Structure 1
Amino acid sequence: MGTSLKEKIKKGIVLFLPGIFLLGFNIGTGSVTAMAKAGATYGMSLLWTIVASCLATFLMITLYGRYTLVTGETALKAFKKHIHPGVGIFFIVALTAGVCGSVMGVMGIVADICYEWSKSVIDTGISPIYFAIFFISLVYFIFWNGKTQFFERALAVIVAIMSASFLLNFFILTPPPSEIIKGLIPNIPENLNEEKGPFLVIASLVGTTVFSGLFIIRTTLVKEAGWTINDFKKQRNDAIVSVTLMFVISSSIMAAAAGTLYIEGIGLSKASQMIELLEPLAGSFATSVFAIGIVSAGVSSQFPNILMLPWLLCDYNNSERKMTLPKYRVMVLLISLLGLVVPIFNARPVFVMIISQALNSIILPLTVGGILYLTNRKDLMGKYKNSVLTNVFLVILFLFSIFTSVIGIKGVIQLIS
């Protein structure tokens, strides 16, 4: 009986591994910083943007997954074959550039968080470089194994730690329930400062959740799981679990900042400040739990980040995804080592993260437009072609993605100038 239950649990976990992989990819330090900053500055009033982002993400995950279930083709193969090879190459270049920026920013923030946290044990703290070397080595060691299932299972453990940390923090630092309910009603907060308009804040929150790389990689995971159109329900349930957890974790981070920093009228400019600011307000236990959550988020997003380029190349060339090949091991090592840039050169991790987020926002319109075109082709989708309602939602998302792209480009120009 015990063995039977154990087998059922094991099968259940395996069933949702692709979704857990996406969750680890999606909730990184960029998301943590954006959600914490929004919560510290505006309380729970922008909670509705997380709801909207998660619904948009669910739509895109489902559509990209369904395309692969029907045609058996991954996204890059479809772009190359049915639109133009140049579109596939653009995605490889743009996503790799975004990921390289993300690797630098993520490891910079994780090392910074650990350094601040270590001050509670050692007065001077432990240098961020040592933390960066440790986490880069850990992720590369797990990658060395070379099997997707092994990555997914390792990631599932890290995502479980992250989820538990942020949820526990939510219950310790929860804001009043009335504030949470009010935040679900779409509104533009009045107390936004002039430097960053309300739309820029909303665009940054959406940009960290509705991520193009997520949808491209989704098709690879669906194909590798061996799913067909008969597994549509399985694919949808997996997407529901993934997006629900995205919402719960994102809103928990926002609530932790809203329940402490917002109430005290303290703003936030970088993630590591959460450690300094939370300690006197929430105590060392809540601060440690939050730090564990941020570190887990950083490490979990680092896995898919370092795998992005080799996976995209395999997709584009329609070759076997054998990560034990020397060329992929060297490629991943070089991308992993970018994580040392911020701690060694004392670069600004937030600046690097903003640049990579802006690149992601430029890719999004093409990602939405691409799937809108592909899923409306009767010769490819047959009876599974998009419904009118699906197309309406996709067009709205397409227009919004153009809007966020313009904001993202303007934001980067202002930052550079």
Structure 2
Amino acid sequence: MIKNWFKNIGPGPLVAAAFIGPGTVTVCTLAGVNFGFALLWAMGLSIMATIVLQEMSARLGLITQKGLSEVIRTEIKNPLVRGLTILLILSAIVIGNAAYEAGNISGGVLGLETIVGNPFVSIAGFNLNVLSITIGLVAFVVLYVGNYKVLEKVLVFLVILMSLAFLLTAIITKPDLSAIFSGLFMPKVSEENLLTIIGLIGTTVVPYNLFLHASLVKEKWHHETDLKFARKDTIIAVALGGIVSMCIIISAAAIETQHISSAADLAKGLEPLFGRFAKYFLGIGLFAAGITSAITAPLAAAFVATGCLGWSTSMKSKQFRAVWMFILGLGVLFSSIGFKSIEIIKFAQITNGLLLPVIAAFLLWVMNKSSILGKYKNTLVQNIIGIVILGVAIFLGAKSILKVI
């Protein structure tokens, strides 16, 4: 039974690994520290929206055997609209992922630093962080192998490690179960928590995951009969990802102080209350969150760039490797020298804010085309849920852009 389940694991855990990066860990930490269990409902809502959109993306990839960017290139007939859409996608995903990659690697480094300390080497007057380079090398090797099965096994292992680490941390804090259920099923929205709610949804419903999922599904499955496996894989993995995010909120709610700005601070904050084991669990969880996102972000950028530009989407092609090497290289460089370009990250946030409604709208449009999906096109219920999510995406996009401006 378990062997069969593992055999049918698809790209779902990779998608979960991609959205639970250091950014998500930090937002969940702040949600827990500032509002206790009150925003668990927002994470639950985000997970439901993510499952709906990721299922559409997986179905599109499996039935068409194409990535989302390839479908966009072939289905948008107006050259001007197609050109603008591709430009927005490349800006948001490729430049955006290059900006976020440094954060992914730095997140993994923060996790390791809570366990092994802070080793630096000095080269030509620059202090380089050894852990950043180590994480970069691990990501390089996994991606260079270019084998979906190897990638899947490594990331599934890291996701299980991350899940156990955060789950054990939440259990250690002995949370009040009635307060958890109240936070899950009794939504509370105020001026104080609105930005945090937007942050929780924004770090969970991620545009680049829609591209990543469609591309990886066709690496794993090739027949329409596999759709049931793809759906089950998506629902289980994204739901588990949501539980992990909720565990971080629950762990952070146990902290007495308000002076917490990252998961590394959370590790220090839990230590006096629950002993040094809490620090190690959190450190391992943050390391796994950082390294999984450090692998999936360049991978998504490579699928997007090659699909948009009509290049080979084979994981071993020269163009595919050139894209992820560029993203990973920038991430390692910026992380190891401690460079933080706030302008690049602001640009990435704006383009992502614009991209999510555009991609959600395109996905809804294409999922209703019988010429592409035949009998597997959207049902009325899927369309209604999709339109509600599109409305939320437009609101979120506008809010995130206004916030940055």
Superposition TM-score, scaled by structure 2 size: 0.89
CA deviation profile, 1:296-333 (whole Å, cap 9, x unmatched): 01001111112223222333355543334444444333
Q: What is the CA–CA distance in structure 2 between the aligned matches of 1:300 and 1:313, rounded to whole Å?
A: 20
* Residue in 1 that maps onto 2:393: 401
CA 1:170–1:358 in 2, change beyond 3 Å: closer, same or farther?
A: farther
Q: What is the CA–CA distance in structure 2 between the aligned matches of 1:330 and 1:20, rounded to whole Å?
A: 25
Q: 2:267 matched to 1:275? A: yes
Unaligned 5+ residue runs, structure 2?
Answer: 121-127
Letter in 2 for 1:310: A
CA deviation profile, 1:117-155 (whole Å, cap 9, x unmatched): 445xxxxx4347111111111111222212122111111
Q: What is the CA–CA distance in structure 2 between the aligned matches of 1:344 and 1:313, rounded to whole Å?
A: 26
Q: What is the CA–CA distance in structure 1 between the aligned matches of 2:173 and 2:347, rounded to whole Å?
A: 31
8 Å CA contact retained: 2:22, 2:286: yes
Q: 2:36 matched to 1:43? A: yes
* Residue in 2 that maps onto 1:20: 13
CA deviation profile, 1:102-126 (whole Å, cap 9, x unmatched): 101122233234334445xxxxx43
Unaligned 5+ residue runs, structure 1?
Answer: 1-7, 120-124
8 Å CA contact retained: 1:106, 1:349: no
* Residue in 2 that maps onto 1:300: 292
Q: 2:109 matched to 1:111? A: yes
The structural deviation recorded for 1:242 is 1.0
* Residue in 2 that maps onto 1:81: 74
Q: What is the CA–CA distance in structure 2 between the aligned matches of 1:312 and 1:281, rounded to whole Å?
A: 45
The structural deviation recorded for 1:383 is 3.2
The structural deviation recorded for 1:344 is 4.5
CA deviation profile, 1:188-223 (whole Å, cap 9, x unmatched): 356x6xxxx432211110011111111111111222
Give the paired residue count.
393
Q: What is the CA–CA distance in structure 2 between the aligned matches of 1:220 and 1:52, rounded to whole Å?
A: 25
Letter in 2 for 1:133: I
Q: 2:210 matched to 1:215? A: yes
* Residue in 2 that maps onto 1:4: none
Deviates more, 1:176-185 or 1:326-335: 326-335
Q: Secondary structure at the match of 1:266?
A: coil
Letter in 1 for 2:287: V
Q: 2:374 matched to 1:382? A: yes
The structural deviation recorded for 1:98 is 1.5
Letter in 2 for 1:277: G
Q: Secondary structure at the match of 1:20?
A: helix
Q: What is the CA–CA distance in structure 1 between the aligned matches of 2:318 and 2:382, rounded to whole Å?
A: 43
Q: Secondary structure at the match of 1:370?
A: helix
* Residue in 2 that maps onto 1:31: 24
8 Å CA contact retained: 2:17, 2:155: yes
CA deviation profile, 1:236-258 (whole Å, cap 9, x unmatched): 11111111211111111111101
Q: What is the CA–CA distance in structure 2 between the aligned matches of 1:72 and 1:407, rounded to whole Å?
A: 35
Q: What is the CA–CA distance in structure 2 between the aligned matches of 1:353 and 1:89, rounded to whole Å?
A: 18
Deviates more, 1:84-93 or 1:401-410: 84-93
Q: 1:257 aligns with which of 247, 252, 256?
A: 252
Q: 1:97 aligns with which of 74, 95, 100?
A: 95
CA RMSD of aligned residues (A): 2.4
